């Protein structure tokens, strides 16, 4: 498009299509979005509220993932948007034949898309800067066989063990967002988004993630924004020919300038300053929003060998193939116990970024992980009882009520009944196991490590 002259018929038709298409994709029109917006407690705002507001996509087909209105749309939803854009373009072209150009409307569409792309980037930037999106592996994850992880969990754990690199990725996203804030640097910001978010898109495809549709949406917006100066940059840098700059400048009245300043300031306050502070507060307090907040049994954190296992008063010898006999047990520092056994159960999935407030909904530790059964538990210190509930939603009836004894600091004895009300007796002995991640964090990367 040539913004300083009359547009030809193809340019006008193309613009009408993209205007309708991107307007529907970027501007919240879904009633569920506003329902959720008004349900937020703005006096006790959590960073997850702003995160979900920032991740809006239009949804025409209801699925369990997007039933609340906070989910991510699918390519089927894109198809509906495409049909609407085609029909709208035909009607618009028939009723607006005499228009010579759409310079002003083109400018405002770029403004909408710039800010839509900004909040999409910032929403993920801060949860990487404060490395929470992919947390450090739990003790259970560190004691799970590599082959028991699905592809997406391997990718997340690989990113989680390098928190500084994760923070760097967040800073790149934040830099691109800052450049998009300003009209003169928006093209540079859009250019940065293309390889960065393109890598996110490819990673989701390669590792079977669930955000390839959303990341591709951000890529299409960045492409549209970059196209504004793309031809001029190609002519100047590749063909090395004289290139005229864009001479279109929006004109604002004094009232419009004031309103623009107020709106931009409010946007920066909510989506940058407030969101950044709220994200930092959660990181400082919890470390990660993926793991439960409830503290576990005091002094029990660690990996335990199952020295003795009795079921119905019969001793079951150690076996890697027995689906009943426990092989080892992990007590996390939060209220989770994981038990390694050969028991089979459908995997929990967590392929999109979700931020849960309640412990029972936080399923990152068990999602995409096989080979272990994960149980949340409650401690009754007075009766020395643990009440275990399998965290896998496919096994809601798997509950255990166990008495615990601690003869010494390295041993825990559990006794009680399983979900079939069969007597269970387990003797656990703590393994003094060292982990390379912890040793490197304590000693530094320059010193030799011996585990």
CB-facing half-sphere around the CA of 62: CA atoms within 13 A: 5
pLDDT tops 60 at residue 4: no
Q: Span 59-73, mean pLDDT? A: 70
pLDDT in tens, 397-451: 899 999 999 999 899 999 998 888 899 999 999 999 988 888 777 777 667 766 5
CATH code assigned to 302-439: 2.40.128.280
Helix, strand, coil shares of the chain as percentages rounded to 5?
50, 15, 35
Residues of the chain with CATH 2.40.128.280: 302-439
> How far apart, in whole angstroms, are the C-alpha atoms of residue 140 and residue 143?
5
Report pLDDT for 66.
58
Cβ proximity of 343 and 324 under 8 Å? yes
Q: Is pLDDT of 3 > 70? A: no
What is the model's pLDDT at position 439? 78
pLDDT tens profile 120-148: 999 999 999 999 999 999 999 999 999 99
pLDDT exceeds cutoff 80 at 173: yes
Q: Which residue has the tokens 């994981």?
A: 338
Cα 299 to Cα 7, 184, 196, 339, 436: the distances in Å are 73, 57, 43, 18, 22
Max Cα distance, the chain (Å): 90
- pLDDT for 363 beyond 60: yes
Q: Which two structure tokens, joined as six digits, stand for 269?
A: 């306050």
| 214-273 tens-digit pLDDT | 999 999 999 999 999 988 888 888 888 888 887 778 888 889 889 999 999 999 999 999
Tokens of 387: 């009440």
- Whole-prediction pTM: 0.90
Q: Distance (Å, rounded) from C-alpha 50 to C-alpha 70?
A: 11
């Amino acid at each position: 498009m040539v913004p300083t002259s009359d547009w030809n018929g193809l340019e006008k038709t193309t613009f009408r299509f993209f205007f309708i298409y991107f307007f529907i994709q970027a501007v919240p029109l879904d009633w569920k979005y506003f329902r959720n917006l008004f349900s937020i407690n703005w006096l006790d705002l959590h960073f997850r509220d702003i995160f979900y507001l920032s991740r809006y996509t239009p949804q025409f087909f209801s699925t369990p993932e997007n039933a609340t209105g906070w989910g991510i749309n699918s390519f089927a939803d894109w198809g509906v948007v495409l049909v609407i854009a085609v029909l709208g373009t035909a009607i618009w072209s028939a009723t607006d034949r005499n228009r010579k150009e759409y310079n002003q409307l083109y400018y405002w569409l770029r403004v909408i898309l710039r800010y839509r792309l900004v909040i999409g980037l910032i929403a993920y930037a801060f949860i990487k800067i404060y490395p929470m999106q992919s947390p450090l592996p739990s003790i259970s994850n560190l004691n799970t066989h590599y082959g028991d992880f699905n592809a997406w969990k391997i990718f997340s754990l690989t990113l989680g063990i390098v928190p500084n690199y994760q923070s760097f990725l967040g800073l790149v996203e934040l830099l691109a967002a800052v450049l998009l804030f300003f009209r003169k640097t928006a093209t540079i910001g859009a250019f940065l988004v293309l390889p960065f978010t393109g890598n996110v898109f490819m990673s989701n495809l390669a590792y079977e993630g669930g955000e390839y549709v959303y990341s591709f949406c951000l890529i299409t917006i960045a492409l549209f924004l970059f196209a504004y100066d793309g031809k001029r940059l190609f002519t100047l840098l590749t063909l090395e020919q004289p290139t005229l700059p864009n001479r279109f400048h929006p004109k604002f009245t004094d009232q419009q300038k004031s309103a623009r300043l107020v709106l931009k300031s409010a946007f920066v306050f909510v989506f940058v300053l407030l969101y950044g502070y709220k994200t930092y507060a959660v990181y400082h307090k919890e470390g990660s929003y993926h793991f439960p907040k409830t503290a576990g049994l005091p002094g029990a954190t660690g990996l335990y060998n199952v020295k003795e296992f009795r079921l119905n008063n019969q001793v079951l010898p150690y076996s890697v193939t027995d689906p009943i006999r426990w092989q080892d047990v992990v007590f996390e520092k939060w209220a989770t116990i994981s038990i390694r056994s050969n028991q089979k159960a459908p995997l929990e999935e967590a392929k999109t970024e979700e931020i849960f407030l309640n412990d029972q909904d936080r399923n990152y530790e068990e999602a995409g992980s096989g080979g272990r059964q994960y149980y949340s538990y409650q401690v009754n210190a007075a009766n020395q009882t643990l009440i275990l509930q399998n965290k896998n939603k496919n096994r809601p009836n798997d509950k255990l009520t166990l008495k615990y004894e601690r003869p010494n600091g390295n041993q825990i004895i559990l006794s009680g009944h399983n979900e079939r009300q069969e007597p269970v007796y387990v003797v656990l002995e703590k393994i003094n196991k060292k982990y390379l991640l912890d040793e490197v964090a304590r000693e530094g990367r320059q010193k030799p490590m011996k585990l």
